[in-house]
Amino acid sequence: MYNCALILAAGEGKRMKSNTPKVLHKVCGKEMVNHVIDTLKSAGIEDINVIVGKSAEQVKEKTGDRNASYSLQDAQLGTAHAVKCALEFLKDKKGTVLIFTGDAPLITKDTVEKLVSYKDEEDYSGVIVTSIIENPFGYGRILRDRDGVKGIIEHKDCNKDELLINEINAGMYAFDIEDLVENIGKISNDNVQKEYYLTDIIKIFVKQNKKVGSLPVPFEETLGVNSPLELSKVEAIMRNRINTMHMINGVKIIDPVSTYIDVDVKIDSNTIIYPGNVLQGNTEIKEGTILYPNSRIENSIIGENVTVQCSVILDSTIGKNSTVGPYAYIRPQSVIGERTRIGDFVEIKKSVIGNGTKVSHLTYIGDAEVGQNCNFGCGTVVVNYDGKKKCKTIIGNNAFIGCNTNLVSPVEVKDNTYIAAGSTITEEVPEESLAIARARQVNIKGWVSKRKTK
Ligand code: UD1
Ligand code: MG
């Protein structure tokens, strides 16, 4: 049977008090509406139409790589009006249309699949996703009699008895496309809010003796986001799901509550993650690696058997058997080799560091290519910026760079070289040589006592 989906995403989300359209707020590194699109796709629903409103352009841009189509709802006159705006998308289609909202990202693949198969098995005209909750305040309530679902009544339209109903409409549905298209225009806005309620379609179906069903799901999956507080609650649930999945896969997470892993991060088994780590974007952590507390790693690949502590690593690669930190800062486009040591208060920017090289303390390396098995003394600075432009430093293999060396770029240090501590290197250091670039020490004997007698 043919399936497609509508995602309602035209609301502005005023309560977010943010310039970002509501559905573009991220949960564990991915925009809410993209969570919904990806979940639908994982359940095999490919034909997806997103109903956009005032922030149409932004939403289109951020969902652009997901192959969805769009319908525009200029003014938000209610959920039925939103669906009407997608009639062009539904035209001439036969089968099932799922309707979800772009601000409820916790819905699972499993539930989407259940919803589809439940609707098909019993040949329903409509299936409503429902939950039983303790405090149903604000939600549409499910009206039933002995034969089943009779309708949905919005909170603001409930009478005293209806307010006591604790089975709520989650705002997610599966409809027969033809039945929906035929009847969507019959919905009026004759209610307290003067809105066109999609929920009114149920009463219309019942009147026409069409079959209506309900699919109960855990309330957690249906949680929507209207405010920063709700966003944080939804994020905590998503975070817990992600961490649980990694732990099932063999990642040892010491304290899941304080470990923040984005949805697209990949982590091998046999790894350990201590509290306070924030793993973002397309980061990959390879087998045997230990992340000691408090690092932020974004879009980076951390090789096998690496240890990282208290460091920031952005858009970079760390080779296997290396150590990073504490307090290292590895900036974008850096490629750190195998068996390297990047120690405390070391900043590396857009540089390549060869295998076996040690940069142990208090050093800045920017726009440089460094060979293998070099040793950087404490306090080395690559002077890569002359105030106008950035220049490159190239260092060969087996260079021993003394403490407090300045390497004024552009400059080259060849293989098998030594640089004396305190040197400011402005010219090439040839192979197999020692460079000393500092004033020679002069000791003036008796200088102190002479000064005193003056
Ligand atoms: C809706 C349901 C209610 C259900 C609740 C679950 C209706 C009439 N009521 O109420 O039964 O319990 O969801 O959360 O549907 N939207 C548009 N265009 C519009 C109006 C809304 O795109 O003109 C979008 C909103 O951005 C939002 C979603 O549709 O993502 C739901 O709309 P909202 O106004 O929040 O409906 P509720 O009052 O929450
Ligand atoms: Mg709502």
Query: Is the domain of 121 the same as that of 185?
Result: yes
Number of alpha carbons in the 13 Å side-chain half-sphere of residue 449: 2
Comparing C-alpha atoms, which of 390, 386, 389, 358 is closest to residue 371?
Answer: 358
| Residue 217 sits in the same domain as residue 234 | no
Q: Ligand 1 centroid vs 323 CA: distance in angstroms?
A: 51
Give 75's contacts (C-beta < 8 A, 6+ positions apart).
Answer: none
| Domain co-membership, 328 together with 423 | yes
Backbone angles phi, psi at 66, to 5 degrees: -110, 5
In one letter, which amino acid is 190? D
Bin 5: left if φ > 0, else alpha if -120 < ψ < 50, else beta. Answer: beta
The pLDDT of 193-202, averaged and rounded, is: 97
**Residue at 200 is within a domain:** yes
**Domain holding 165: CATH number?**
3.90.550.10
Per-residue pLDDT, averaged over 274-297, amounts to 98
What are the tens digits of pLDDT across the range 31-75? Answer: 999 999 999 999 999 999 999 998 999 999 999 999 999 999 999
Give the per-residue pLDDT at 1.
Answer: 85
User: Looking at the predicted structure, is the pLDDT value of residue 453 above 90?
Assistant: no
CA 112, CA 40: separation in Å to the nearest integer? 7
Angle at 83 between CA 81 and CA 87, to 5 degrees: 110
Testing ligand 1's pocket by substitution, the residue of 8, 52, 230 carrying the most ligand atoms inside 8 A of its CB is 8
- Measured distance CA(81)–CA(170) in Å, rounded: 18
Using one digit for the tens of pLDDT, what is the confidence trace for 332-351?
A: 999 999 999 999 999 999 99
Q: Is the pLDDT of residue 79 over 90?
A: yes
Print the domain residue range for 84: 3-222
Same domain, 118 and 70: yes
N-to-C CA span, the chain: 104
152 lines ligand 1 (CB under 6 A): yes
Residue 454 pLDDT > 90: no
> CATH number of the domain that 250 lies in?
2.160.10.10
Helix or strand holding residue 429 (H, E): none
Rounded to whole angstroms, the Cα distance separating 25 from 141 reads 28
pLDDT at 261: 98
316 lines ligand 1 (CB under 6 A): no
**Total structural domains in the chain?**
2
Residue pair 340/355 in contact by the 8 Å Cβ criterion: yes
Q: How far apart are CA 418 and CA 433, in angstroms?
A: 6
Final residue in a domain of this structure, among 222, 243, 263: 222
Answer yes or no: is 148 within a domain: yes
User: Annotated binding residues, as ranges?
Assistant: 8-11, 22, 73, 78-79, 103, 140, 154, 169, 226, 331, 349, 364, 375, 384-385, 421, 438
Tens-digit pLDDT profile for residues 353-376: 999 999 999 999 999 999 999 999
Distance separating alpha carbons of residues 310 and 295, to the nearest angstrom: 5
Question: 166 and 127 in contact (C-beta within 8 Å)?
Answer: no
| C-alpha dihedral sign at 226, 230, 235, 240 | negative
Q: Is 77 domain-assigned?
A: yes
In a shared domain, residues 216 and 248? no
Same structural domain, 234 and 203: no
Looking at the structure, do residues 117 and 234 belong to the same domain, yes or no? no
Ligand 1 contacts CB of residue 154 (under 6 A)? yes
Q: Which residue, by CA, sits nearest to atom 30 of ligand 1? A: 101
Is the distance from the beta carbon of residue 200 to the nearest atom of ligand 1 less than 6 Å?
no
Distance, in Å, from the CA atom of 392 to the CA atom of 291, rounded to the nearest integer, reads: 32
> If residue 376 lies in a helix (H) or strand (E), which one and from where to where?
strand 375-376
> Are 179 and 308 members of one domain?
no
Q: What is the mean pLDDT of the chain?
A: 97
- Same domain, yes or no, for 308 and 416? yes
Q: Residue 291: is its pLDDT beyond 90? A: yes
Q: Is residue 448 part of a domain?
A: no
Contact 84, 181 (CB under 8 A): no
Is 212 strand, coil or helix? strand
Same domain, residue pair 150 and 95: yes
Please report, as a single letter, which amino acid is at residue 399: A
Q: Rounded distance, CA 356 to CA 334, Å?
A: 16
The answer, yes or no, to whether any atom of ligand 1 lies below 6 A from the CB of 172, is: no
Q: Rounded CA gap, 53 and 83, in Å?
A: 12
State the greatest distance between any 2 C-alpha atoms of the chain, in Å, as a whole number. Answer: 116
417 lies in the same domain as 295: yes
- Report yes or no on whether pTM surpasses 0.75: yes
**Is residue 156 located within the same domain as residue 16?**
yes
Whether 246 sits among the annotated catalytic residues: the reply is: no
Angle 42-45-48 (CA atoms, 0-180°, nearest 5)? 115
